[in-house]
Amino acid sequence: MLTFGGLHAQELPYKSLLKAPENYSAANVIARMVDGLGYRFYWASEGLKAEDLSFGPEGEGRDIQQTTKHIYDLCLLVLQSVDKGAEVEEPGEDFEELRAETLKVLYATSLKLRELSDKDMETLSFRGMPLWYMINGPIADAVYHTGQIVLLRRMAGNPMNPNVNVLTGVNR
């Protein structure tokens, strides 16, 4: 059976939060932020129905499908900043494929970060800027947009699972 980073192909990461790293380092702190995003995104996007995907604000705002694609693009930026050799296939228009690829990109990012030393981190940059900009840029933006999905799905009448516990990363 094919695996992705130790997961079976049919399993998606972040149904629960990954085990926290054993020590504090720059890479591990960012990895944990990515893991928190992964857990939030998993549950924000879990159980969405086809009719939910086109729900969004009138006018120029993004619907849930478009917001999910934007989150994918942000997560891919983060992965490519920490792993220049990362090879990913662009997901199609299918929501479940887009969701799965987003979660896999986050998982690959976390795994790569956990391998890096502080010295390795000093050589990385985000678009030619220090990695701080990756935190307050695409990572924070992806968390923000994940919250938008939670709000939009609630407004569409399909709220997120109320048992999700973002503090512990294990559902009640």
Tokens of 62: 């993004």
The answer to whether position 32 is within a domain reads yes
The domain in which residue 76 lies consists of 23-155
Reported confidence tier of residue 3, pLDDT bands at 50, 70, 90? very low
Listed residue (110, 114, 78, 99) closest to 146, CA to CA: 99
How many domains would you assign to the chain?
A: 1
Listed residue (10, 50, 18, 46) closest to 146, CA to CA: 46
Residue 82, pLDDT above cutoff 90: yes
Residue 151, helix vs strand vs coil: helix
Residue of higher predicted confidence among 89 and 163: 163
Whole-model pTM: value is 0.93
The answer to whether position 15 is within a domain reads no
Residue 110, pLDDT above cutoff 60: yes
Return the pLDDT at 59: 87
CATH number of the CATH domain containing 92: 1.20.120.450
Alpha carbon distance 45, 164 (integer Å):
12
Alpha carbon distance 84, 86 (integer Å):
6
Strand partners, 3: 8
The answer to whether position 110 is within a domain reads yes
The answer to whether position 149 is within a domain reads yes
The answer to whether position 2 is within a domain reads no
